Chain A
């Protein structure tokens, strides 16, 4: 989602002595700022409502499952604790951390919940007492955290690398131009001592 900076480019200041900002420009600034704030708020609101919708659906599913098996409900509530923690700690309005952790937790939890459902009552299998189940869901949550932490760093690293390449390309282009056309190309006056380069 595109983020519009809260402060749009200010209009050019009025001429000195005109008594501060031009009223028209000030009005335009205010309007821009309001619009930007509204869009940002809408964005935050949209993210929250999606999150609420997903959380509601999850909660509904959990209740539905929990009505059949209270131990599963307890399992799910405890297993989703990292996700809840992510929701609470993630300041990102789109709650990417919660999505990453939650998705991974769900990915590990769903087979376990289904295993409990499909297990024969005689088997006496209880997911609450299965250390592998706990290990799976928390490991999955950890992986989710790991992905959430690593991928943005990798993304920034790649972006920096691309920017560096671009900078080097531009500097090289400028050097080549200066070599070919002399220092006048950058607006400097040519000096008599400027060496003639032969390529």
Chain B
């Protein structure tokens, strides 16, 4: 539904007013009625209505881009009504009161029975095995089956995100997990060790294995009544998990009901290759025997590494400790104490050799690497499976995009990710993985491209390009779009047009964000955009190039008429008009361009401004005129120069004529006299 002051093709947008807001001409959102039960720390929830289903409750979740919502998951799950899953009714941009720019509203069918566990609770009443299987496991497995069938992961499975679907508390549903990056709200205890070590916005989409691990921890918590990780130092908990395995680190396995122990152990295996799949879990649930995962083993040092006032017994835990304290970590590395400890105390030679190799490379380079890069590479050498850790940030390979999007608005956040990409750490991390990890040719090539873009300051490159390449659903962040939620290139031109029509465009209609957005989403040749990014340097070629690109975009996205952008382009085309020499023709062209610009048809505008026949005609005429002018100039100069000679010639001719006239007169006189005398 078009909003006041909005353009018609912003149909996805919703009406902005002080009262209710309408989304997709159907759902009524009430900004004055918060639904706190469904709010999170970053996402507010409000009461909504669906007039087509009166009496059924709806909740609208209002998202910004920090944290970045998972639009790709919303797309796949929209309208999907299955047991165990919160149904997403609709989503789209809305003009939310009090917000600068549009927000993404997600309308869900909320569960009616409340949360299974309140957030922050450390202990709960254990749920009996039978009830757990019927009430919790069965619907959640059904929901996960549906999600996995659509190649999506939930990444939000934790007790406080499980709701009773009704007031009778006979079934549960998984709460939504689409308003933030995957695993954003997950407590570290409910994540695999690798994800737990990553920053909330850098955990990455992950795989089904991560969801199944979270399910295993949930079952553990609900069956024992103890919520793991509450009130425990996360770093210490991770170190204990690395050393003993998560299950043993959380509880004494004897506390787990005997009927569930195999299932929980299968789901909580630390090795993703050993971890049960959903099919294995379902098979076990049906009473079949499923091979249990191999017991978790971690090489423990004979003596702990003394660092930051604690002792660290494993290489991954030591790497985590070093990278979480970047300055002290670098000092410890450079002092050689870490490598010495590994050589002396760690029976596993693999990480020791890898670290020795990194330190040797650093020494060979003469210490030319940044120290934080040394620490990052050392961390990867000591624990290849851990996230990429650099200068205090910790991101998994598939979480760089979300981390970049969330870090964009934070001071220094973009710079750190940029440095990480420039240092080519993702490729280094990928090459350090064990052989069984699929490196993927496409991934390597993509990482190389990211490295190139981040070092390229041209239009359509830079960090902005990385941002949009890594986040395919991120709306354009350009201030030129005036806060509109532009997630598709087809929406971009109308947004710029609206800005232009409202006088919001100054001299620069396209900035680095728009160039990168177009390059990433439409694969346009953004070198043409240079003209628009540096309007003071626009010449006729770049103006035509820009118009051509915009016209192509208008055609390919079947955009409506864009009079605002047309008028801007008309202004931009002044050098083109000025390049025509014939004044009258130039004046007519300017008038025609103005008229065409007002119509908003950029293709016709391009045809008018870039007519080769017209240009040729003008050029030929101008050359001819120049030739004529030069000839006239030469003739004038000759005339001036030859004046004395011409006068001499005239005088001489005059004298000759005088002689002839006199002679003629004499002959005539004589003849007349004779005639008079003798006739």
Which residues of A are in contact with B by a Cβ distance under 8 Å? 3, 92, 94, 96-97, 99-101, 103-104, 106-108, 110-111, 114-115, 118, 140, 143-144, 147-156, 158-160, 163, 166-167, 170-171, 173-174, 177-182, 184-187, 190, 196-199
Contact = CB atoms under 8 A, between A and B. Distances in A.
A171 B652 CA distance: 29
B659 interface: yes
B629 A186 contact: yes
B124 to A, nearest CB: 77
14 contacts: A96-B658, A99-B663, A100-B663, A106-B670, A107-B665, A140-B666, A143-B665, A148-B659, A151-B655, A152-B657, A156-B647, A158-B650, A170-B635, A185-B625
A187 B652 CA distance: 40
Contact of A100 (B590, B628, B651, B662): B662
Contacts of A160: 647, 650
B122 interface: no
A96 B659 contact: yes
Interface string B638-668: 0100010011011111111111011101111
A186 B633 CA distance: 9
Contact of B658 (A148, A159, A170): A148
A99 B659 contact: yes
Given A152-B658, A163-B643, A180 B625 contact: yes
Range for the number of chain B residues in contact with chain A: 35 or more
Contacts of A101: 662
A107 B646 contact: no
B390 to A, nearest CB: 52
B622 interface: yes
B325 interface: no
B81 interface: no
Contacts of B651: 152, 155-156
Contacts of A181: 581-583, 621-622, 625-626
Given A184-B581, A197-B583, A153 B654 contact: yes
B669 interface: yes
Given A101-B662, A177-B628, A96 B636 contact: no
Contacts of B677: 111, 114-115, 118
B655 A152 contact: yes
Contact of B650 (A94, A150, A155, A171): A155
A44 B654 CA distance: 19
B661 A147 contact: yes
Contact of A155 (B590, B653, B667): B653
Counting from the closest, the 7 A-B pairs by CB-CB distance are: A107-B666, A152-B654, A155-B654, A159-B650, A100-B662, A111-B673, A96-B655
A185 B626 contact: yes
B632 interface: yes
A33 to B, nearest CB: 18
B456 interface: no
A114 B676 CA distance: 13
B632 A185 contact: no
B336 interface: no
Contacts of B584: 180, 197-199
Nearest to B578: A190
Contact of A151 (B621, B635, B661): B661
Give chain B's interface secondary structure class. Answer: helix
Nearest to A107: B666
Interface string B328-370: 0000000000000000000000000000000000000000000
Nearest to B581: A181
Contacts of B659: 96, 99-100, 103, 148
B392 interface: no
Contact of B669 (A111, A173, A182): A111
Contacts of A148: 655, 658-659, 662
Interface in B153-206: none
A80 to B, nearest CB: 13
Contacts of B581: 181-182, 184-185
A144 B625 contact: no
Contacts of B626: 181, 185, 187
A160 B643 CA distance: 9
B587 interface: yes
Nearest to A196: B587
A106 B668 CA distance: 11
B152 to A, nearest CB: 59
A92 B622 CA distance: 50
A103 B639 contact: no
Contacts of B669: 107-108, 111, 140
B422 interface: no
B586 interface: yes
A196 B653 CA distance: 49
B639 A163 contact: yes
A135 to B, nearest CB: 14
B578 to A, nearest CB: 7
A163 B657 CA distance: 20
Contacts of A147: 658, 661-662, 665
A198 B636 CA distance: 28
A174 B667 contact: no
A108 B666 CA distance: 7
Contacts of A178: 629
A103 B659 CA distance: 8
A170 B636 contact: yes
A94 B248 CA distance: 136
Contacts of A159: 646-647, 649-650
B625 to A, nearest CB: 5
B572 to A, nearest CB: 15
A143 B664 CA distance: 13
A119 to B, nearest CB: 12
Interface string B485-506: 0000000000000000000000
A100 B659 CA distance: 4
B650 A111 contact: no
Contacts of A92: 655
B583 A179 contact: yes
A174 B633 contact: yes
B670 to A, nearest CB: 5
Contacts of B621: 181
Given A107-B667, A163-B646, A198 B654 contact: no
Contacts of A167: 636, 639
Query: Looking at B621, B649, B661, which has the most chain A CB atoms within 10 Å of its CB?
Result: B661
Given A163-B639, A167-B639, A180 B583 contact: yes
A198 B584 CA distance: 6
B325 to A, nearest CB: 62
**Which of B632, B639, B659 has the largest count of A CB atoms less than 10 A from its CB?**
B659
A96 B660 CA distance: 9
Nearest to B588: A198
Contacts of B665: 103-104, 107, 143, 147
A167 B638 CA distance: 10
Nearest to A105: B666
Contacts of A97: 655
A182 B583 contact: yes
A65 B635 CA distance: 58
A47 B655 CA distance: 14
Interface string B601-631: 0000000000000000000011001101100
